[in-house]
Amino acid sequence: MKLLINVSLPTSSTALKRVNVLFDNKIVKVSADEITYDDELETIDAKGLILLPGGIDPHLHICSKDATAARDIANITKAALEGGWTTVGELSYFTESPIFNLSQLRAKAELMDANAYTSTALWGHVDITDYPYHAEAAQELWAKGVVGIALAAPSPNPAISEISFTEIMDLFLDIYESDTAFAFQGFDHENHDCYSFVAQMDAIKKMLRRMQENPIHIPRVSSYPTIEFINSISKRSDISFATCVNDLMPIFDKQTHKPDHECDFADFYDLLFELIRTNKIYLVSNCTAPERVSDDCAEVFYGSDKSSLAYSYLWVLSELWKKHKVPLATCIKMTSENAAKRMGIYPNKGSLDPGSDADFVLYNPEVNSKFKTANGNAFELTGSFEAIYLNGDLVAGKKIKTKRTGGYLARSTNPKRRHNSTTWI
C-alpha cells in the first residue's frame, strides 16, 4: 500500500485542495486529514505537486501492418505513457487484421498484453460481407468488452469491406435494443466525389437520420461549423466528437506548430476558443498513426505523427489552463474524464475518486519542459510530469526509467451520455 501526502487536488472551483491519497492498484482513500493504515506503508511526499488523472485518448491508430504490429504497439504506447496518457483506445483503419469476431479480439488483446505500455482498449469492426451474421458478430464483440464498433465510409482499407449508409441503418435497426456504441469516420461518398468539410457534415446528417438510441462518436472533427452543428443537436441525439490536439496547436502558435490536416479553426478563433473555455469541446485526441497513409486515401482518415504524444497533454495544461485561463476542470474533462465516459470505462478510468484505478500523474506547474515538433521546431511548455502512475505502479516520469505494465483493457460499463453531469471533480 502507498500513501501520497501533500498533494494538490483540482476542485470544481479554481482552488486546489491539499490532500493525502492512499492507494495500491486502486485509489483507496482521499482525505484532507492525516491517513493512518495498520500495515506497512510506502510514503511519497508530493511536496505540493498537482494530482491529475492520467490522460485518455479513445482512438489512436496504432496497428498499420501485421508484421510491425508489436513494434507499433510498443513504440506508440510507450510514447503516450511518457506524455502522461495512461489509457488509449486502438482504432486502426489500416490494419490487415481488423477485429470482426471473438477470436480476432482475443488475438489482438494478447498482442496488447505482450507489448502495450498503457491500458489499451479495442474498437471492433463490421464485416458486411458476413451478412446476415455481421450484426450478431458486432453484438458478441460488444458483450466481450470492445469500447465500440468503428464504421468507415468509404472504407480506406481493403481488409474492411465497403458499407453503405443503408446498410448502416439496417445495422442500427438490428441492434436497436442494445447500447452498443459506434464511431463513424468518413464522408458522404454517395453524393460527393472527394472528402470536404461539407461532405463530412452530410455524412454525419445521414448517420443521425439512421441512428436509434445508440451512442455515436466522430473521432476527428476539424471544421468549426461541424462542431457547432453537433453541439446544436447533441442533447437530442447521443452524439459526441473529438478534436485533434494537432489541429488546435497551430491556431495558438502557428510559427511552431504546422497543420498536418485540413482545418478551418484559424478562421473561427474567437468562436472556437469560447467553446473551449465553456466546456463545449467534448474531448481531444492525438489521432496518432505509425505512418502516413497513401495519397489514395481520403484525408479524413489521415493520422498524426506520434511525436506530439510527448507533449500534447502538457500542451493543454500549459497553453489552455496556464496561459489562456481555461478552467483546469475543463482541461481535465477534455483530456481524460469525457473520453473515459464515452468508452464505457468510467469511473475506473478518468477519475480520482476512491475505487478508481490508480492512474494519475504528478504535475509540476513551476518548471518548463523542452520539446521538438515532428518538423524539428524547438519550443517550451510550462509544467512537467514528475511522475506517472498506472494501476498504482510508478511507470514513467522525470528521471524515471519507463516501465511496461500495460495491456488489454475491456470496457467495464455502458457509455455515459455526452451530457452526463456525474463527475469526480
Nearest to 152 by CA among 39, 255, 302: 302
Q: Model pTM?
A: 0.96
- d(C-alpha 57, C-alpha 67), whole Å: 24
What are the chain's domains? 2-51+354-367+382-408 (2.30.40.10), 54-343 (3.20.20.140)
Q: What is the pLDDT of residue 296?
A: 60
Q: What is the CA radius of gyration of the chain?
A: 21
Q: What is the C-alpha to C-alpha distance for residues 120 and 77, in angstroms, rounded to an integer?
A: 8
Mean pLDDT, the chain cut into blocks of 10 residues (425 residues total) = 97 91 98 92 96 97 82 96 98 90 97 98 96 93 96 91 91 81 93 94 88 85 97 90 96 92 95 96 93 64 90 98 96 98 97 98 97 94 98 96 98 91 90
Predicted pLDDT of residue 232: 94
Query: How many other C-beta atoms are found inside a 10 Å radius of the C-beta of residue 265?
Result: 21
